[in-house]
Amino acid sequence: MPEEFDFALARDFGTALLIGGLLGVEREKRNTRAGHGHAGLRSFILLSQVGALGGFLGQRLGSPWVLAAVVVAVAAVLVAGYQAAVRRHPDSPGLTTEIAGIVTCLLGALVVTGHRELGIGLGVVTAALLAYKQPLHDAVGRIGWPDVLAGLRLLLATFIVLPLLPDEAIDPWGAINPYRLWLLVLLISGLSLVGYVASRWLGRGRGIAITAAAGALASSTAVTLTFVKQSHERPGEVRELAGGILLAWAVMFGRVVVLATVVAPAMFARLAPSFGAMLLASAAGAAVCRWSRRRGASAAAAGDVVMENPFSLWAASKFALLFAVVQLLLQLAQIHLPRGGTYTIAALAGLTDVDAITLSMAQQARAGGQEAHQAVVAIAIAAVSNTLVKAGMATFLGKGLAKPVLLGAGAILVAGALALLVG
């Protein structure tokens, strides 16, 4: 009796051939344009088919060596083809096409051995990497050694330092857990690194609004101080600079909600009304400043936001120490002081940094109930305290920023208070 047709297997082989076709089209276009088309659409379809057959036979025969032999044979053929191409064209580029051919063979095997979705995903990613050659090279060109070192330090702190820390409280009050503390430090550092990269890539010469929004992911205080300084250098652009400051504050309010939600997902529903209101008020103030700029004034290009290295072990250690102190003070306040003690600590902590108090209160809010409500109020107090400090900087250190910034700060306070009262 003839064996029934295996539609699932046929689908997998068809998927493997399509992956080969996708990569083959990109390679043929690229190689033809470069004038050395030694591997294109047909070659890559055949490579994916060879890989699929190797994976299929190895699975049926119960021997992984079948696929290994197929991959070695494919690699040998591709290397021989590369050597022949180099002899014909000494200025031929590197081994990208040959490596892509080996990857295509392995993807074909991956699809027919029960990992179809993974093979499709990797195929699409591989095609994107090949197609976006020039943008990727341009992006690497914009990365400096300090950026590379900062990324390596972040990886070191994540995969080397973090596993070595104890995941238990080390103080008598159960407030300081080194593992969780460092994990939250990494969360802040990662977000700051994103803001730093965005500011470097998008902020330079792209206008005040983009500079403010990108820089605020790392530090809204840095954005405020930068624009305060520029208000003396460019008095004709005071409205735009004030709008940039308010926009940076709006991003800060959103950033606080994100941080708290990552630590305690239930905090989103509790923080969203008040912080959403403050965010909208701040964004509205920024929009008013932009629309009311003097007639004929062009959109300004902001200078670079002055920020420190996005990640260093020393900076991370200082933040960890600050966070540990805030965490310990909050725990002691809950034990020995009335509720107002927590709010006082939140106000004082917000004078310099809102992230530490946000993460500390979000951790305590996991218990829910009254603790969650207290956490929301404390985080709001810290954010307002931080906003007032930045408003004071703009008022007393800036030139012409006092009126728009104070009006914006007033609108933020009113909106946040109303949202808290209604909630």
- Judging by beta carbons within 10 Å of its beta carbon (0-12, 13-18, 19+), is residue 57 exposed, middle or buried? middle
Cβ-contact 100, 38 below 8 angstroms:
no
pLDDT of the residue at 86: 73
Selection from 248, 186, 194, 256 nearest residue 221 by Cα: 248
- What's the confidence (pLDDT) of residue 155? 84
CA max distance for the chain: 92
pLDDT at 50: 93
Distances (CA, A) of 380 to 21, 64, 363, 373: 55, 60, 15, 11
Q: Rounded CA gap, 177 and 73, in Å?
A: 54
Contact present, 206 and 226 (Cβ < 8 Å): no
Quick one: pLDDT at residue 301? 47
Which amino acid appears at position 87 of this protein? R
Q: What is the pLDDT of residue 197?
A: 67
- Assign 13 to helix, strand or coil: helix
Per-residue pLDDT of the chain (423 residues; tens, 9 = 90+): 456 777 888 899 999 999 999 998 888 887 766 555 566 788 899 999 999 999 999 988 888 899 899 999 999 988 888 787 777 766 666 678 888 899 999 999 999 998 999 999 999 999 999 888 888 777 777 777 777 787 788 888 888 888 898 888 787 777 678 887 787 677 667 766 665 666 566 544 456 777 777 777 777 877 887 788 778 877 777 888 888 899 999 999 999 999 899 888 888 988 999 999 999 999 999 888 877 654 444 444 445 555 555 556 666 677 677 767 776 776 676 666 665 677 888 888 787 778 888 888 888 777 666 678 888 888 999 999 889 988 988 888 888 888 899 999 999 999 888 887 776
pLDDT of amino acid 15 = 93
**H-assigned helices in 199-306:** 208-216, 220-233, 238-263, 267-291
